[in-house]
Amino acid sequence: MPYRKFADKDCIVQGRILEEGLKGGLNLEDGGGLAANLMDLYNYCVLRLTQANARNDDLALDEVARLISPLADGWKQISGAAASAARPM
Q: pLDDT tens digit string along 29-42?
A: 999 999 999 999 98
**Would 89 be classed as within a structural domain?**
no
Domain span at residue 30 reads 6-81
Tell me which residue of 51, 49, 58 sits closest to 1, measured CA to CA: 58
Report the distance separating Cα 16 and Cα 53, nearest Å.
10
**Would 48 be classed as within a structural domain?**
yes
Tell me which residue of 44, 43, 47 sits closest to 23, measured CA to CA: 43
Each residue's pLDDT tens digit, 54-63: 888 889 989 9
**Would 1 be classed as within a structural domain?**
no
**Would 38 be classed as within a structural domain?**
yes
**Would 88 be classed as within a structural domain?**
no
Instruction: Look at the pTM and tell me if it is higher than 0.85.
Output: no
How many folded domains does the chain comprise?
A: 1
